[in-house]
Structure 1
Amino acid sequence: MEYTQTLERTYQELHRLAEPSGREEKTSLYLKQRLREVGYEIHEFPGHYGFYVEWPGEQEEVIALRADMDALLQEVKGEVRANHSCGHDAHSTMVLHTALRVAREAKKYTHTVRFLFQPAEEIAAGALEMMHSNALKNVVFLGGIHLRPEREVPSGKAAPAIRHGAIVSLKGKVTGTPAHAARPEDGNNPIEISAELMERFRSISIEEPFSFKVTEFHGGEASNAIPATCIWTYDIRCHTNEGLDELTDRAEEEMERLESETGADISFSLEEFSPAARVNRRAVQKAEKAIGKVSGEEAVDGICESPGAEDFHFYTYHHPEIEATMIGLGCGLKPGLHHPEMTFDTTALCFGMEILYELLKEADRSTYNKE
């Protein structure tokens, strides 16, 4: 009970420090101070607030845990502010206390143990920044953890992996010809062209589950004038990276076809890409054993299927040789992730920390890159 209260106190302190992506200065300082107190050397980088610490092992090969630090910028009770509605404060709490436990127990590890604290997950930039800073040097195993809504993973259980899909934002602009609304024949209406494009996008279909939805649409400032431009954004999601590529290729074909038919200019960009998860069976087996050791086999849930995205998967997208998994922690979370009033059972923090600690031990027993 005392240790649970200690984790909850850390969580509350981090929760109050909530900072948006790329501005995690106070959060980073808090975590660094806690880690320095037990003797860790801080490895930090210019240009962002991410950092890592290490517990030395007998080998240079690294087994690692990753936490994200940033909060969402959203409206809460009429005030726009940084708000931890995705649980990153909880993730940092669990990884921090795993690192503190490793230092306190001074256990000998075969592998070097690294704890990554990453910025800017919410804007899909932090993992890329950490890799650019060489934070993955010598890493052979990478674990993470994420709070899950009750409907995905029940309280008291944990999923050995989360299968996030791939996501990208298709942002575009149709440039037509402005005219007086009384003489539409003199113009080329970009709103109508964009509406036609929306219908064509709706006709796109592939074999695997996907989502292709408009999230922004704006054109015109006056009721009696045909505007020159119309801008829009589509949120595109798919279970696999290959499926996402197929969807964006089909969308590009439709834009090129409509551009040719109408004479308008259609420009676009693909932004905010996050790759789909690579479910690694060896890493999943380690996670299953870790969960089972903490709470028994009945606590091991199936792989969590999530419609969301997570920049954790950039690590294996660019380094598929790394064994990696993100554990989904059941914690009674409601009403949902990214909801401004998200809450969860904070006693689950101890459950998650114990799983991460056992996961490190399972990872340390393995050999890597021997095939």
Structure 2
Amino acid sequence: MNNPIQFISDHKEQLLQTYQELHALAEPSWEEKKTSRYLQDKLSAAGLQIKTYPDHYGFIAEIPGEKESVIALRADMDALVQEVDGVVKANHSCGHDGHSTMALYAALALQNSKATLQHTIRFIFQPAEEKAEGALQMMKEGVLENVLFLGGVHVRPHTEVPYGKSAPVILHGSSATLTGVITGTPAHAARPEEGNNPIEAASLLIQALKQIRLQGNKKYSIKMTELHGGETSNSIPESARFTLDVRAEANETMVALLAKAQYIIESTAKLTETNIACEQIGYSPAATENSVAVRMAQHAIGSVLGRENVAGPCISQGAEDFHFYTWKTPHIPATMIGLGCDLKPGLHHPQMTFNTDALVYGTKILIELVMKADQELEENIL
């Protein structure tokens, strides 16, 4: 058997070149055509079995094992759309190009090793993470069929996980987006008593939302991030539209927070005699920590970087649609590793950069994680 870890050391330059090529492709959610084709070509050329889907560019690649049960790794492929140096374009400022690179080379190394694997190894290349839609779509496609373990990885800011270290779990919070329209009564600004100003209703809504208090010690926030109403200075508008950003450290906190928000929206509409129509247009669940998966990730990180470089859990105020997998299938041990890589100034910043040498040890950690899960997990212990 060829050593898959040595394979990564021997192919470091090719791995880093692959990252640069994927970085240059940068395609938005649901439009990852070139990225998907690039990855499929390399995987199929190495002999992996590829399965694609008719309605999107997500796919899976597999290395058959002695059993049909599956050890899976997930990587996301899409880029953000944002303004970079005055130009709005697709831009890899969240590291998905790095995640795809690591999953790709973990697959190539394991395939090259010709190791006897107990389980089938499945690599899930997912679209549309940035829209929090890709994981749900891939689950509809059945990518978790027969899965006993699911792993993932995400590059982390230097303030969360230092370079040379990795965290065995990222504890993202839950997030939701609500959009609404407040409808009042238009009038001339000189005769405000004849109208009902939706912007004033929005101001009351903002203040009421700020007064929300929940029991417990879990963090949460709800704030209005968009408000648009009116076109002229001398008219009271008929309507105003708004967006609420909602965050919670735990899923149960999010449920309580959304219930409070709905009550306040209804109360504000009644108080101001307006109509407030509000709907939820986005949601990501919080992470759930699985002790089996975390223990395996700790082993993998320690094997590659040394036990002293196993960081504690990475607490993130952001969201990640990987957690749909764990939320919908809590019986599957799963974890997302936080890769220390000296990432600055931060995720989603248009000028985000990180030390790409971390991709080398990140890939080795993924290989160790897969091999540990393959050796330990059996259907009867889950």
TM-score range relative to shorter protein: over 0.9
For 1:18, which of 26, 29, 33 is the aligned residue? 26
Structure 1: runs of 5 or more not aligned: none
TM-score when normalising by structure 2: 0.96
Are the equivalent residues in 2 in contact too, given 1:4–1:349 (CA < 8 A)?
Answer: no
User: What does residue 283 of structure 2 align with?
Assistant: 273
Are the equivalent residues in 1 in contact too, given 2:343–2:352 (CA < 8 A)?
Answer: yes
User: What does residue 5 of structure 2 align with?
Assistant: none
User: What does residue 66 of structure 2 align with?
Assistant: 58
Matched, 1:353 2:382: no
Mapped partners of 2:208, 2:168: distance in 1: 39
Structure 1 stretches of 4+ moved >6 Å: none
TM-score when normalising by structure 1: 0.99
1:370 Cα offset (Å): 3.2
1:2 Cα offset (Å): 4.7
Aligned to 1:48, what secondary structure does the other structure show? coil
Mapped partners of 1:116, 1:262: distance in 2: 50
User: What does residue 38 of structure 1 align with?
Assistant: 46
Structure 2: runs of 5 or more not aligned: 1-8
Aligned to 1:14, what secondary structure does the other structure show? helix
Matched, 1:238 2:248: yes
The residue type paired with residue 209 of structure 1 is K
**1:72-221 alignment, distance < 5 Å:** 72-206=80-214, 207=216, 208-221=218-231
Residues 244-287 of structure 1: per-residue CA shift (max 9 Å, x gap): 11111001111111222222101101121000001101100000
Aligned to 2:322, what secondary structure does the other structure show? helix
Mapped partners of 1:298, 1:235: distance in 2: 38
The residue type paired with residue 364 of structure 1 is D
User: What does residue 365 of structure 1 align with?
Assistant: 375
The residue type paired with residue 278 of structure 2 is F
1:298 Cα offset (Å): 0.8
Mapped partners of 1:224, 1:68: distance in 2: 49
Mapped partners of 1:28, 1:93: distance in 2: 12
The residue type paired with residue 350 of structure 1 is V
1:320 Cα offset (Å): 0.7
The residue type paired with residue 91 of structure 1 is H
Matched, 1:334 2:344: yes
1:175 Cα offset (Å): 0.3
- Tell me the number of residue pairs that the alignment of Structure 1 and Structure 2 aligns: 371
Distance 1:370 1:2, change over 3 A: closer
1:368 Cα offset (Å): 3.5
Percentage of identical aligned residues: 54
Residues 110-153 of structure 1: per-residue CA shift (max 9 Å, x gap): 11110000000000010011011111111110000000000000
CA RMSD of aligned residues (A): 0.9
